[in-house]
Amino acid sequence: MNDEEDFLQEDTTKDEVNETEASKMNKLRRTRKKVTKSHVCSTEVGDMDISNSNDCTRDINQILITPQLSSRMKHIKQAMAKNHLQFVRFEATDLHGVSRSKSIPAHFFQEKVVHGVYMPRGYLELIPNPRDNEVNHIRATCFNSDIVLMPELSTFRVLPWAERTARVICDTFTVTGEPLLTSPRYIAKRQLNQLQDSGFSLLSAFIYDFCIFGVPEIINSKTISFPATTLLNNHDQPFMQELVDGLYHTGANVESFSSSTRPGQMEICFLPEFGISSADNAFTLRTGVKEVARKYNYIASFFIETGFCNSGILSHSLWDVGGKKNLFCNSSGVEQLTVTGKKWLAGLLKHSAALSCLMAPAVSCRKRYAKESKDQKDSVPTTWGYNDNSCAFNIKCHGEKGTRIENKLGSATANPYLVLAATVAAGLDGLHGSDEVLAGPDESTDLYPSKPSEIPLKLEDALVALEEDQCLREALGETFIRYFVAMKKYELENEETDAERNKFLEYFI
């Protein structure tokens, strides 16, 4: 943002202390213009090629967005009138992947598209239910400032599960117009831009498990111990039908759903999509399933009754930049990864310890890594295989989707934007790394990396791995890593075994 820096430098003189009221007003107007430009840029990312969204941080004056903005607003106004909307939620993800929002009366929507909606920064960057001492713990001076929620208009949808209400997913900016460097959605977009700059695109979809609990007369997480019966029966199937239909109308296409391994546990699979849409779909589910569940007097949770986390799998494949060829598929017809696919997988394995910190970000989430091991260990090997659902990275070579990798390190409580961003960063490092690639079980073993990768079982060790992973530090940004690690260390310092499950049940319900 060279133009913005020039604006600031024009008024930064030795006599700034004696600045007149007129010059102060001029500076304020320029600051407002910067925020407005960034808002407009954000609203049209969905209409542009993803590489153009990166230009928002380069030179927003070069992007001609007025016709697109006008056309998008026209369709939105028609939808608002047709559905007699009263409110619009401006939603953004916090570091945990939970929706934080402000709702505005519908007649103010166009004004807020231009100027944005303000929210305290600490709502998005601190742990649940922040207190003053938590702010001091992270030793930052900016938590008491505001940030601006800037709507991406392509995500505007009427919410089927909320009366006369729509939502729009927002990107977050500082009041001076710079992207919030701790924003998981911004970080994911940046990594997708890096991927496209390298000549690739990502087709991906999330697969989530969640549980449905009956609600006692007084809601208390300690008494929520009886799950509903398996939902695929005549009594409870309307819940899933309404959820899936509602997700469809919000733009999140569900490919399949089924009961899972435990009573009340469901699995839902999204249709693969290119770009940021897969994470947007997962973000939509995390709120939508809770709202629909409450209509049926249920509580939806991403924890199962034993206190373990449900799984959150990222199924993905690498394509050319035009989205026409799956670069994981072997043209010879052999069910095997291509050399490109093996390099991508090698990157995932190399960074698996740091990846696990972002994908299993709580003590309970990490229990599933060692659930089949009776030995007390500090870490477990990172496994991979072909069509083997027990592996951390499962390569599936069957079906109409073609070859794809399931990253099964994740829990359903992980932030989907961070899962997407970290997976892309690790895979790219594998592509840009050495010529050494993995071999399949029947190939020469001299292609295997010399050092097997391990997944730490303790969150403390995973945090160390993340801090020491130079690739992910650079990809996700030093600012984000500092905030994320500080947040998790604070949670560990204040951990109470019985209270942890209650905290996360309340927060992630």
463-495 residue pLDDT tens: 999 999 999 999 999 989 998 998 888 888 776
Query: How does pLDDT run across 347-370, given as a tens digit for each residue?
Result: 999 999 999 999 988 887 777 777
Q: Domain end: 180, 207, 236, which one?
A: 180
Percentage, residues of the chain above pLDDT 90? 43
User: Do 232 and 87 share a structural domain?
Assistant: no
Q: Work out the pLDDT band at 30, boundaries 50, 70, 90.
A: very low
User: Do 415 and 499 share a structural domain?
Assistant: yes
Which pLDDT belongs to residue 194? 95
Tokens of 187: 């970080």
User: Do 278 and 141 share a structural domain?
Assistant: no
Q: Domain end: 126, 155, 180, which one?
A: 180
User: What span, in angstroms and rounded, lies between the C-alpha atoms of 404 and 338?
Assistant: 11
Which pLDDT belongs to residue 18? 38
User: Do 375 and 259 share a structural domain?
Assistant: yes
CA 407 centroid distance within chain: 14
3-state secondary structure of 336: coil
484: in domain: yes
Which pLDDT belongs to residue 45? 36
Query: How does pLDDT run across 280-329, given as a tens digit for each residue?
Result: 999 999 999 999 988 888 888 887 655 566 788 999 999 999 999 999 98
42: in domain: no
Could you tell me the pTM of the whole model?
Answer: 0.80
User: Do 442 and 315 share a structural domain?
Assistant: yes
205: in domain: yes
60: in domain: no
Domain containing residue 294: CATH number:
3.30.590.10
Q: Work out the pLDDT band at 277, boundaries 50, 70, 90.
A: very high
Q: What is the mean pLDDT of the chain?
A: 77
27: in domain: no
pLDDT at residue 51 greater than cutoff 50? no
198: in domain: yes
Which pLDDT belongs to residue 257? 86
Which pLDDT belongs to residue 374? 59
34: in domain: no
User: Do 344 and 244 share a structural domain?
Assistant: yes
44: in domain: no
User: What span, in angstroms and rounded, lies between the C-alpha atoms of 366 and 411?
Assistant: 8
Q: Domain end: 132, 154, 180, which one?
A: 180
Which pLDDT belongs to residue 141? 42
User: Do 173 and 277 share a structural domain?
Assistant: no
The arithmetic mean of pLDDT across residues 100-117, rounded, is 93
The arithmetic mean of pLDDT across residues 108-137, rounded, is 73
Based on the number of CB atoms within 10 Å of its own CB, is 496 exposed (0-12), middle (13-18) or buried (19 or more)?
A: exposed
Domain containing residue 107: CATH number:
3.10.20.70
User: What span, in angstroms and rounded, lies between the C-alpha atoms of 385 and 368?
Assistant: 19
Q: Work out the pLDDT band at 461, boundaries 50, 70, 90.
A: very high
pLDDT at residue 236 greater than cutoff 80? no
Q: Please tell me the total count of domains within the chain.
A: 2
pLDDT at residue 423 greater than cutoff 50? yes
Pairwise pLDDT comparison (212 vs 150), residue with the higher score: 150
3-state SS record for 74-109: HHHHHHHHHCCCCEEEEEEECCCCCEEEEEEEHHHH
The arithmetic mean of pLDDT across residues 250-275, rounded, is 86
User: Do 432 and 365 share a structural domain?
Assistant: yes
Which pLDDT belongs to residue 371? 66
Least-confidence region, from 314-318, 331-335, 373-377: 373-377
| Contacts (Cβ under 8 Å, ≥6 apart) of 88 | 80, 103, 104, 106, 109, 112, 156, 165, 166, 167, 168
User: Do 306 and 275 share a structural domain?
Assistant: yes
Q: Work out the pLDDT band at 331, boundaries 50, 70, 90.
A: confident
User: Do 430 and 375 share a structural domain?
Assistant: yes
Q: Residue 93: which domain range?
A: 74-180
Q: Dihedral sign, CA of 157, 158, 160, 161? A: positive
User: Do 207 and 161 share a structural domain?
Assistant: no
Query: How does pLDDT run across 53-84, given as a tens digit for each residue?
Result: 444 433 333 333 456 677 888 899 999 999 99
Pairwise pLDDT comparison (382 vs 216), residue with the higher score: 382
DSSP at 11: T
Which pLDDT belongs to residue 54? 42
pLDDT at residue 27 greater than cutoff 70? no
User: What span, in angstroms and rounded, lies between the C-alpha atoms of 446 and 341?
Assistant: 18
User: Do 161 and 257 share a structural domain?
Assistant: no
Which pLDDT belongs to residue 407? 93
